[in-house]
């Protein structure tokens, strides 16, 4: 097994998961959305709830998609969905639109990416599965820690809707570029 390649895939998977872990920074968007649109806290938080509900459902579909199209294609699809969901969140005018954009679309992208980055990376490290899985999952958990302050700055500069669009483009770009370096372990038997 190519030692350099597996470390590259681990690093890429961690960074990609940092990007999708941004979804946990929802709290920095909630208050500005309430102010701008007059939503209640419950209405605003429902978008995050839907996102978390959709995430494991998308994970269920990731396996069959990987068998058919390969890990790279599924990660790239997830990156498009995540970035598109965020970008479209910057165009909303109703609470139901944020449920669709941030909740359903972005949440689906997260589920596709997370399930693939963790499971694929673990297979590259048969002798250190816990380390590889923990670091990759840790990237997801650390995403909000890193990107919440960034989002606050974007919201202050561009407003909440502008911040969604800018971050959607940034995250989609990063995931699409890094997703090119994702490769399946030979032990998986997929592309």
Residue-level pLDDT at 191? 45
Percent of the chain predicted with pLDDT > 70: 96
Confidence of residue 108 (pLDDT cuts 50, 70, 90): very high
pLDDT at residue 185 is higher than 80: no
For helices 41-69 and 27-37, angle between their N-to-C axes, nearest 10 degrees? 130
Mean pLDDT computed over 78-96: 98
Q: How far apart are CA 178 and CA 83, in angstroms?
A: 14
Q: pLDDT per residue over 120-131, tens digit each?
A: 999 999 999 999
Q: How far apart are CA 159 and CA 144, in angstroms?
A: 19
CB 9 within 8 A of CB 182: yes
Q: How far apart are CA 113 and CA 19, in angstroms?
A: 10
Helix, strand, coil percentages (3-state) for the chain, rounded to 5, are 85, 0, 15
Mean pLDDT computed over 51-73: 95
Q: How many residues does the chain have?
A: 191
- Sort 86 into a burial class: Cβ within 10 Å, 0-12 / 13-18 / 19+: buried
The overall average pLDDT reported for the chain is 94
Residue-by-residue DSSP string for 102-135: IIIIIHHHHHHHHHHHHHHHHHH-TT-HHHHHHH
Confidence of residue 165 (pLDDT cuts 50, 70, 90): very high
Q: pLDDT per residue over 25-39, tens digit each?
A: 999 999 999 999 999
Confidence of residue 46 (pLDDT cuts 50, 70, 90): very high
3-state SS, residue 40? coil
Confidence of residue 184 (pLDDT cuts 50, 70, 90): confident
Residue-level pLDDT at 4? 85
């Amino acid at each position: 097994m190519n030692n350099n390649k597996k470390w590259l895939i681990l690093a890429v998977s961690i960074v990609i998961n940092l990007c999708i872990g941004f979804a946990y920074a929802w709290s920095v968007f909630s208050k500005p959305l309430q102010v701008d649109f007059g939503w209640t806290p419950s209405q605003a938080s429902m978008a995050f709830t839907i996102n978390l509900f959709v995430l494991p459902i998308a994970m269920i579909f990731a396996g069959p998609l990987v068998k058919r199209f390969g890990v790279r294609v599924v990660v790239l699809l997830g990156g498009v969905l995540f970035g598109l969901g965020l970008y479209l969140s910057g165009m909303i005018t109703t609470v139901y639109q944020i449920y669709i954009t941030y909740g359903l679309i972005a949440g689906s992208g997260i589920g596709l990416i997370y399930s693939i980055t963790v499971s694929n990376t673990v297979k590259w490290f048969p002798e250190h599965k816990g380390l590889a899985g923990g670091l990759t999952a840790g990237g997801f958990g650390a995403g909000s820690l890193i990107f919440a302050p960034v989002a606050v700055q974007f919201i202050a500069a561009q407003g909440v809707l502008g911040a969604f669009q800018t971050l959607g483009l940034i995250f989609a770009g990063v995931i699409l570029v890094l997703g090119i370096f994702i490769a399946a372990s030979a032990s998986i038997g997929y592309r």
